[in-house]
Chain A
């Protein structure tokens, strides 16, 4: 991704991910976060959740993948932050769908960076807010 290819308003392509219970188990294993609210329905319900929910960091990780793919080299994602505002509920019988889009909201030609705002939704709800990444351009 070079600086000539980008302007304020440039949109990242929509990415759509399906998350099953198996995907949550794989993330738990890969991340070391084995909190049972992501793995076990009875535990999730016992703490007042509607069902098993995806790790917030798994959702943020998917958004990170979208930015990294757009940047062309994952190490060009210089910073990335978000707030977690709604859970991604993952039923046993059908995968949850997470959709990620993004827009370039600022350019810093001196630093050679672009600021990208990400919109991450599941079942009609915004699950991440103020999801923002700074990407180094060539």
Chain B
């Protein structure tokens, strides 16, 4: 087994928001269907309003759609040296500061919290802070990817 080449000096790097994304009701509904989330507040704006929300609310893991798009800035950065074909998902965590609701305009800032090589595999931990455009925190998404070492030929 050989050691993967991932640039550990990327630890601490921050990728500022690359524009904003507006969460649509259609995106919330499609994601909810895909994860079998049948709760009416995902699908019906009236049901969401009855629970005190402005519009349909996102399932607990919906924020991954915005986080993964933002993390790609780092993961696909040729300088970081990550071989995407050898990447597997190690860990994922969501901390919700406020619900994600259709109509939210969100910005994603990616922090590279840790890059380290363990037994030849690289572990890459990113933290994506999703905020409203006025800076209000919405969700913190922490993701650890494992870049598997090549088998020795």
With the chains together, A33 CA to B89 CA distance in Å?
12
Interface size of A by CB at 8 A reads 33
With the chains together, A73 CA to B56 CA distance in Å?
12
B90 contacts partner chain A, Cβ-Cβ < 8 Å = yes
* Pair B42/A74 contact, Cβ less than 8 Å: yes
| B interface secondary structure, majority | mixed
With the chains together, A69 CA to B58 CA distance in Å?
13
CB within 8 Å: A-B pair count? 109
| A interface secondary structure, majority | helix
Residues of chain A whose beta carbon lies under 8 Å from any beta carbon of chain B: 17, 23, 26-27, 29-33, 47, 56-58, 60-62, 64-65, 67-69, 73-75, 77-84, 133
> CB < 8 Å: which of B59, B65, B96, B142 contacts A78?
B96
With the chains together, A33 CA to B69 CA distance in Å?
9
* Pair B64/A31 contact, Cβ less than 8 Å: yes
* Pair B53/A79 contact, Cβ less than 8 Å: no
- Chain A, Cβ-Cβ closest to B42: A74
With the chains together, A47 CA to B53 CA distance in Å?
44
Set of chain B residues within 8 Å of A82, measured between Cβ atoms = 91-93
Between-chain CB contacts (< 8 Å), 20 pairs = A27-B34, A29-B30, A30-B31, A31-B31, A32-B65, A60-B92, A61-B31, A61-B60, A64-B37, A65-B36, A65-B38, A69-B37, A69-B38, A73-B51, A74-B57, A75-B51, A75-B57, A75-B99, A81-B92, A82-B93
